Amino acid sequence: MRIIRIILILFVASLLLSCATKPSSQQFDIDRFDKEKMDQFFTVMDENNRGMGSISIFHEGVEIYQNQIGFGDVANHHVITPDTKFRISSITKTFLAVIIMQMVDEGKLSLDTTLDTFYPNIVNAEYITIRDMLYHRSGIFNFTNDETYSEWRHEPKT
Sequence-distant (6+) residues with CB within 8 A of 40 are none
Residue of 25, 89, 90, 150 marked active site: 90
Nearest to 37 by CA among 57, 20, 61: 57
Beta carbons of 114 and 126 less than 8 angstroms apart: yes
3-state secondary structure 27-54: HCCHHHCCHHHHHHHHHHHHHCCCCCEE
Active site (annotated) includes residue 90: yes
CA–CA dist 130, 134 (Å, integer): 6
Give the Cβ contact number of residue 45 at 10 Å.
20
Instruction: List the catalytic residues.
Output: 90
